[in-house]
Amino acid sequence: MSDTLHPQRMTLPSDLNSLSPLGMALRDYVAPLGVAESWVYPLDLALCEAAANVILHGYPARRDASFEVVFSQQHDAVSVTLVDSGIPIPPDKIPPAEPEETLPLDAVMTGGRGLYLIYRCVDEVRYWQSEQGNHLMLTRRLPA
């Protein structure tokens, strides 16, 4: 995997119909790296779950909104960052950096499975806020 990819940006409407083009854009971005679909799929799953959260929870009443996606590669990993100006993730909904291997049944029944799934599909999750909005970065290490 000698190719180094340049960052790419795209803006998508805050609509669930954006999830399919988002998955295709991810695959197009990593195609030069020659990674297997078995490597791409978990990142795609986490990315689409995160984007759905932006659409449904960040912009619950604004269907005219949009969010930005930034694809980037570090030497040994690929990151995808979602940037939106919607409602921030409530601090009590952000799981710890190292979530427990299993969730208690009552936690699963009351929601929050999406963030848990995101954490299980990628190697690193970072969330922060800036003047540009909310940032959620998902990083997956490239296979050796």
Strand 8-13 to strand 66-74: parallel, antiparallel, or no bridges (unpaired)? antiparallel
How far, in Å, CA of 75 to CA of 3, rounded? 9
In three-state secondary structure terms, 126 is strand
pLDDT of residue 109: 41
pLDDT of residue 98: 57
Q: What is the pTM of this model?
A: 0.87
Q: What is the pLDDT of residues 60-117, one digit of tens each?
A: 888 789 999 999 999 899 999 999 999 998 887 765 655 555 545 444 444 567 888 8
Gyration radius (Cα) of the chain, Å: 15
